């Protein structure tokens, strides 16, 4: 397969983050994401110390209010296209976790994103994965990879727990044990791995909306 030039946008916010990734973009009410843009990659990251809430001020509520006319409209005149000839929407919401660190609103948050994208794109195929395992998420991505064309777009949203460990950002699925880092490669997903998956697909664009913590892990074996 010939390499495909892909517009890949990662939208990422968390409870705490590391510094030195990007320059801040001014936003109201103290909610100030940072944006990193390259030729085919845009990353929105939190400032160090930014707090998100399970219900309230988080990336889902922030993004939902900025979606209209088939785009995410950010400050500084940054507009991110969402829609393709067919727009594949994958919403992953994890409320229940193996180690009991449960959330209440992750599923409803991802459903809000999914519904908003559906309202803005003409032809969509939607997959909502509730309390999914890593295997289920990867199976869904593999299935979609067999359907997409270079005129299509993907919007991927993850709402749930996340953690930063050894310079990798992990998205924790329902089967992830937060206290056992050695098991994460079997039960958790990295943002880089999801990005690489979409890079292999012949797409018009892909947008990743990651509503998950990127807190640095300490004292975990």
Comparing 71 with 177, the larger pLDDT belongs to 71
Confidence of residue 138 (pLDDT cuts 50, 70, 90): very high
pLDDT attached to residue 17: 33
Could you tell me the residue range of the domain that residue 104 belongs to?
7-216
Q: How far is CA 82 from the centre of its chain?
A: 14
CATH number of the domain where residue 57 is located: 3.40.50.1460
pLDDT attached to residue 144: 97
Confidence of residue 163 (pLDDT cuts 50, 70, 90): confident
Name the pTM for this structure.
0.82
Confidence of residue 218 (pLDDT cuts 50, 70, 90): low
- Residue 221 falls within a domain, yes or no? no
Q: Tokens 């999801």 belong to which residue?
A: 194
Q: Under 8 Å CB-to-CB from 57, ≥6 apart: which residues? A: 29, 31, 51
In eight-state DSSP terms, residue 31 is -
- Dist. CA 213–CA 13, nearest whole Å: 7
**Residue 163, both tokens:** 């953690």
pLDDT attached to residue 46: 63
pLDDT attached to residue 19: 29
- Residue 109 falls within a domain, yes or no? yes
- Residue 19 falls within a domain, yes or no? yes
pLDDT attached to residue 123: 98
pLDDT attached to residue 26: 38
- Per-residue pLDDT, averaged over 190-195, amounts to 88
**Burial category of 122 from C-beta neighbours within 10 Å (exposed 0-12, middle 13-18, buried 19 and up):** exposed
- Residue 159 falls within a domain, yes or no? yes
- Residue 2 falls within a domain, yes or no? no
- Residue 133 falls within a domain, yes or no? yes
Q: Is the pLDDT of residue 66 over 70?
A: yes
Confidence of residue 44 (pLDDT cuts 50, 70, 90): low
Q: Is the pLDDT of residue 29 over 50?
A: no
- Domain count along the chain: 1
Which of 32-41, 84-93, 204-213 reaches the highest mean pLDDT?
84-93
- Dist. CA 128–CA 197, nearest whole Å: 19
Q: Tokens 């460990």 belong to which residue?
A: 165
Least confident of 66-70, 180-184, 212-216: 212-216
| pLDDT tens digits, 75-127 | 778 888 899 999 999 999 999 988 778 999 999 999 999 999 999 999 999 99
Comparing 54 with 13, the larger pLDDT belongs to 54
Of 68, 9, 21, which Cα lies nearest the Cα of 191?
A: 9
- Residue 1 falls within a domain, yes or no? no
Strand segments, DSSP code E, in the chain are 7-13, 23-24, 34-37, 41-45, 67-68, 71-74, 78-81, 87-93, 124-130, 153-160, 162-165, 168-172, 188-190, 205-212, 215-216
- Per-residue pLDDT, averaged over 21-36, amounts to 49
Alpha-carbon distances, residue 197 vs 30, 122, 144, 167 (angstroms)? 34, 25, 11, 19
Strand segments, DSSP code E, in 6-152 are 7-13, 23-24, 34-37, 41-45, 67-68, 71-74, 78-81, 87-93, 124-130
Pair type for strands 23-24 and 7-13: unpaired
């Amino acid at each position: 397969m010939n390499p495909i030039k892909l517009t890949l946008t990662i939208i990422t916010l968390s409870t705490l983050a590391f510094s030195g990734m990007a320059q801040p973009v001014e936003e109201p009410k103290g909610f100030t994401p940072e944006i990193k843009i390259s030729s085919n990659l845009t990353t929105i990251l939190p400032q160090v110390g930014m707090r998100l809430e399970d219900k309230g001020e988080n990336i889902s509520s922030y993004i939902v209010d900025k979606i209209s006319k088939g785009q995410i409209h950010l400050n500084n005149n940054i507009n991110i296209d969402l829609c393709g000839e067919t727009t594949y929407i994958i919403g992953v919401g994890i409320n229940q976790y193996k180690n009991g660190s449960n959330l209440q609103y992750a599923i409803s948050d991802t459903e809000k994103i999914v519904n908003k994208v559906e309202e803005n794109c003409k032809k969509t195929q939607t997959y909502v994965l509730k309390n999914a395992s890593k295997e289920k998420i990867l199976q869904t991505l593999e299935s979609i990879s067999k359907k997409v064309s270079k005129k299509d777009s993907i919007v991927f949203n993850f709402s749930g727990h996340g953690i930063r460990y050894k310079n990798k950002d992990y998205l924790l699925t329902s089967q992830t044990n937060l206290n056992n880092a050695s098991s994460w490669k079997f039960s958790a997903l990295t943002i880089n791995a999801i990005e690489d998956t979409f890079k292999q697909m012949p797409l018009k664009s892909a947008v990743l909306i990651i509503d998950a913590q990127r807190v640095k892990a300490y004292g975990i074996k």
